[in-house]
Chains A and B, each alone.
Chain A
């Protein structure tokens, strides 16, 4: 148990180090670009701030969902619905969850990591992430630009591609 906790702490420190390093690199990139064009960098900062404001409500939802996952959902139930024993139900659930999820892809990574730690299959994480591309609220806009036939065919192929991708990832992960 102690060894496990030590391992988790080590992994968390490693992730934190990587996380900070990436932030520092982007910060340096901003500083370098600011030397050449301060106005564009100021516009980029404004754009970033606007994105942050836009995603803040979803960030709160994701943190709360993570809390719910930690509190209510036990590894046994995750592995039942999204684990190895989930079968076809698990694939459909991942597609459904992916389609229903909102906001940018990256804010879902921490929750997916938590679910994986609880027993969610890697293939289903890939399926979830792929199907985030299918957004029901955006359907009318897509149909307006490309036509109903195009959208239906595209979405069918995307769902098939997501399952094939998930299966391949599972084969690779188990190697």
Chain B
């Protein structure tokens, strides 16, 4: 009798927990769908050719540009590696390409509305601004260390 009661409580507890999870996810669902629709737009409108055409050859400017472009780009990280390699072949510096591939995965301008809505404006903005700055610092530190080591 007692174990039956415990079972009932557990089942009820699980159902309530799942309901809470679904409810919490439901609130975030429209903004997530919006982000997915934006990702679709970016995939079609922002092509790799368009991305490589903006680099100028200036080391610092290109590193910042790499970071900016990586921040607004979206998709699987493998895509950023492939584009990164193409950029290197076209003579873009490793600083810029590193900034580009790091920003691709650490800064998310397209996902920012979802992050603001779910995790809060202050947190989301601070995190993305800091990640953007760190992208440039990490790129410089990585390439300089690599050159010193090799």
Which residues of A approach B to under 8 Å, CB–CB?
Answer: 12, 15-16, 18-20, 22-23, 25-27, 29-30, 33, 40, 43-49, 51-52, 55, 62-64, 66-71, 104-107, 109-110, 112-114, 116, 122, 125-126, 129-130, 132-133, 135, 138, 141-142, 145-146, 149-150, 153-154, 157-158, 161, 164-165, 168-169, 172-173
A114 CB contacts on chain B under 8 angstroms: 21, 24
Tell me the complex Cα distance, A45–B36, Å.
9
Tell me the complex Cα distance, A27–B108, Å.
20
Instruction: With both chains docked as a complex, state the minimum distance between the C-beta of A162 and any C-beta of chain B, in angstroms.
Output: 8
Number of interface residues of B (CB under 8 A): 62
- A18, A29, A133, A169: the one contacting B130 at CB < 8 Å is A169
Instruction: With both chains docked as a complex, state the minimum distance between the C-beta of B129 and any C-beta of chain A, in angstroms.
Output: 10
Q: Which residue of B lies closest to A122 (CB)?
A: B123
- Whether the Cβ atoms of B134 and A164 lie closer than 8 Å is yes
Which residues of B approach A to under 8 Å, CB–CB?
Answer: 13-14, 16-18, 20-22, 24-25, 27-41, 43-45, 77-78, 81-82, 84-85, 98, 102, 105-106, 108, 111, 113-119, 122-123, 126-127, 130-131, 134, 137-138, 141-142, 145-146, 149-150
B146 CB contacts on chain A under 8 angstroms: 149-150, 153
Complex A-B, nearest 4 residue pairs according to Cβ-Cβ distance, in ascending order? A48-B40, A66-B21, A71-B17, A133-B105
- Whether the Cβ atoms of A125 and B119 lie closer than 8 Å is yes
With A12-B27, A44-B40: A106-B142 Cβ-Cβ less than 8 Å: no
- B33, B41, B78: the one contacting A23 at CB < 8 Å is B33
Instruction: With both chains docked as a complex, state the minimum distance between the C-beta of A75 and any C-beta of chain B, in angstroms.
Output: 14
A71 CB contacts on chain B under 8 angstroms: 13-14, 17-18
Tell me what chain A mostly uses at the interface: helix, strand, loop, or mixed.
Answer: helix
- Whether the Cβ atoms of A67 and B138 lie closer than 8 Å is no
Tell me the complex Cα distance, A41–B4, Å.
56
- Whether the Cβ atoms of A157 and B138 lie closer than 8 Å is yes
- Whether the Cβ atoms of A109 and B40 lie closer than 8 Å is no
